[in-house]
Structure 1
């Protein structure tokens, strides 16, 4: 008789375990600091002031998107508490703000903090603390290094990939070009230069006739443009952030230099760069993109663009829709929401990184058709495809095929 009781007891226990496993609502919830039954606390660092302040609107767009998610019931019933601080694009300030977010505010992770030098300054700290530094807003190649930095992941196509695509274009269309490069004197700028040289291969030393760097603390890069024109270059590779990109476009026009002008993707915003520089000065510039351009009429009936416009109208009416940074902030915020939904009730830092490293063919409304986010445990570069575009009139015209410029970490 006791044996039967024991067997029945074991059977009941097994049934209870099965019921728990089959009913997610009863399953064990797992949280790290920053997550509860009602809240997910997310940190963010943006240059709301300083030389890269044109990017500050990304943080504002993300806040507006999370307001939308919260108004619709949150993520698996939890509201997002988005805490965003200004670092003025100054790495020492970034370190201060990251420590505040992790140690005082006790966020679950830091999301989409902006800039290569600022993120470089906190990368070791975030990885030592084992706090995700997720979808950083910079395309430096080094964010795709899961072996050394398993808590850091990029988002956009990396700068070396982008440069290799430009190199292919130059080799095909201007094989005897003389190339002058202006670049920001940090990892961001040097990554682009390395990608171009790698893409040009053996021809790089003979084709690149000048390399000029600038500091973000400089008020202007006008003298660099004059110097580069004097080299007789017929291709200008402009590796700058928005403020300096607009300056360069204006100055080139002013001194009547007419090279093939290639502008890096991070400064291809019509609202933040092309319009301030003057549409008449921006004609014929070549860049690349992976996002839909809100000012391009070809997307007027596109479902993804309609959803973007509805979001802006309701949650961010003061946003300048032709500023490409809004579409960037909107799309990366959607990517994060996808990851957090997949985390279910396991809102641990380890599971957030696990889900972020398991994105498979994710299509988002703001991405160009054919471009999908994809990650794995060994590939922390969600987006690695781009399409070339040329500035004509008051808008960018896409041309050519979607190109993959994969470069390993």
Structure 2
């Protein structure tokens, strides 16, 4: 063979060898917490303490990622989920977040629970450029990309909830007197602001309010004081434990105002049943997720899939606890983000994909509600539906309400 042909055949052989390699073999990008085989995800949840009812969020996430791993993982990578107890204590949250980032080297912090704990770790995570993704709290501060580009919420924020309640009150009880009970933290202040902003010129309808500390063992004294105001509407923005206490105390005092309950405390299992289902009859709240206990969803494919998931991966979980539906829907959103990341599992790309969701349909969201985000919009869900408890289950009350607030940095 003439020597002049050797370079040509060598080139062909090299091209054939390269073609046999994966197209993206040289394009994989990883930050700490990601490899060819693994994605490490960190989480904080109150498995103990005054908000331990929310510990189910961490348990649900762990169960969901077991399912993902059983099905082959995400783009071939298995999830290592590391969840620590912060007891709903900000100092403990800081300690555990540092451990996850500095010792465990997780890729992100996902679905950490509660406004106080997340507020305590927000600056640390943003300074380290670690995603604080889909925070399990309705506070408006999780939608402030100008100041905290590494933090994003998920569910409708508290200000949106307050505005929705104000709209309903103005339409149906324009001459009412309102008493409010709220937790003394950023979330509680957001809710108060949303209600006041929604009432606008009629904010004087609020005749009494009382804030409480999470450390208080009971809120009975607050309820008694608010009853003396003569209000005929009671708005309760409290944790599940305090919400159950409030509903029971209203019954004991024979105070029968129209009650608006925080959307985070609508669980039949952990709130309404302990408070007494009869005592909870007529309470108004809001929803953006399907209630699998509602016969309306008995033939719904997403509800059937959720039931199958619960039966196999969280068999001791209470299906009446709506928080399990919430955790399932959020996990599906993260799954979508990670799939879109492909082989670019950098923290920067995770936030880029999370901030580029357009009309994403997530299992268990109510019809018409979709996930939408952008580089300037860190509020994935801004629609909800008011609901009323009939003594057995929650029933829809009217059409979907858009409670858009806008960037937290502009409010």
The answer to whether the superposition gives a TM-score over 0.5 is yes
After TM superposition, the structure 1 = structure 2 runs for residues 238-387 of structure 1, keeping only pairs within 5 Å, are: 238-387=236-385
Structure-1 residue corresponding to 2:86: 87
Q: Helix, strand or coil for the counterpart of 2:152? A: coil
Structure-1 residue corresponding to 2:95: 96
Provide the C-alpha distance between the structure 1 equivalents of 2:148 and 2:189, rounded to a whole number of angstroms.
Answer: 20
Structure-2 residue corresponding to 1:406: 404
Provide the C-alpha distance between the structure 1 equivalents of 2:13 and 2:139, rounded to a whole number of angstroms.
Answer: 52
Provide the C-alpha distance between the structure 2 equivalents of 1:347 and 1:146, rounded to a whole number of angstroms.
Answer: 21
Q: Helix, strand or coil for the counterpart of 2:359? A: coil
Give the deviation of 1:15 after TM superposition: 7.4
Q: Helix, strand or coil for the counterpart of 2:151? A: coil
- Once the two structures are superposed, what CA deviation does each residue of 1:227-270 show, in whole Å capped at 9, x if it has no partner? 11111000000010000000000000111101010001010111
Q: Helix, strand or coil for the counterpart of 1:107? A: coil
- Once the two structures are superposed, what CA deviation does each residue of 1:324-372 show, in whole Å capped at 9, x if it has no partner? 1111111111111110011001000000000100111111121111110
Structure-2 residue corresponding to 1:145: 144
Provide the C-alpha distance between the structure 2 equivalents of 1:72 and 1:170, rounded to a whole number of angstroms.
Answer: 47
After alignment, is 92-101 or 357-366 more displaced? 357-366
Structure-2 residue corresponding to 1:71: 70
Maintained 8 Å contact 2:86/2:93: yes
Provide the C-alpha distance between the structure 1 equivalents of 2:102 and 2:25, rounded to a whole number of angstroms.
Answer: 32
Maintained 8 Å contact 1:303/1:365: no
Structure-2 residue corresponding to 1:121: 120
Provide the C-alpha distance between the structure 1 equivalents of 2:262 and 2:364, rounded to a whole number of angstroms.
Answer: 19
Structure-2 residue corresponding to 1:237: 235
1:38 to 2:37 alignment? yes
Give the deviation of 1:393 after TM superposition: 2.3
Provide the C-alpha distance between the structure 1 equivalents of 2:19 and 2:26, rounded to a whole number of angstroms.
Answer: 9
Structure-1 residue corresponding to 2:53: 54
Describe the shift of the 1:14–1:358 C-alpha distance in structure 2 as closer, same or farther (beyond 3 A).
Answer: farther
Provide the C-alpha distance between the structure 2 equivalents of 1:19 and 1:27, rounded to a whole number of angstroms.
Answer: 13
Provide the C-alpha distance between the structure 1 equivalents of 2:325 and 2:251, rounded to a whole number of angstroms.
Answer: 29
Runs (5+) with no aligned partner, structure 1: none
Give the deviation of 1:164 after TM superposition: 0.1
Maintained 8 Å contact 2:332/2:363: no
**TM-score (norm. length: structure 1):** 0.95
Misfit runs of 4+, over 2 Å: 11-16, 22-27
Maintained 8 Å contact 1:234/1:260: yes
Provide the C-alpha distance between the structure 1 equivalents of 2:101 and 2:79, rounded to a whole number of angstroms.
Answer: 16
Provide the C-alpha distance between the structure 2 equivalents of 1:120 and 1:26, rounded to a whole number of angstroms.
Answer: 39
- Once the two structures are superposed, what CA deviation does each residue of 1:197-242 show, in whole Å capped at 9, x if it has no partner? 00000110x2000010111101100111111111100000001000
Provide the C-alpha distance between the structure 2 equivalents of 1:241 and 1:403, rounded to a whole number of angstroms.
Answer: 23
Describe the shift of the 1:273–1:379 C-alpha distance in structure 2 as closer, same or farther (beyond 3 A).
Answer: same
Structure-1 residue corresponding to 2:178: 179
Provide the C-alpha distance between the structure 2 equivalents of 1:388 and 1:8, rounded to a whole number of angstroms.
Answer: 72
**TM-score (norm. length: structure 2):** 0.94
Q: Helix, strand or coil for the counterpart of 1:284? A: coil
Maintained 8 Å contact 2:371/2:380: yes
Runs (5+) with no aligned partner, structure 2: none
Q: Aligned-pair RMSD on alpha carbons?
A: 2.0
Maintained 8 Å contact 2:140/2:187: no
Maintained 8 Å contact 2:84/2:96: yes
Provide the C-alpha distance between the structure 2 equivalents of 1:164 and 1:126, rounded to a whole number of angstroms.
Answer: 30
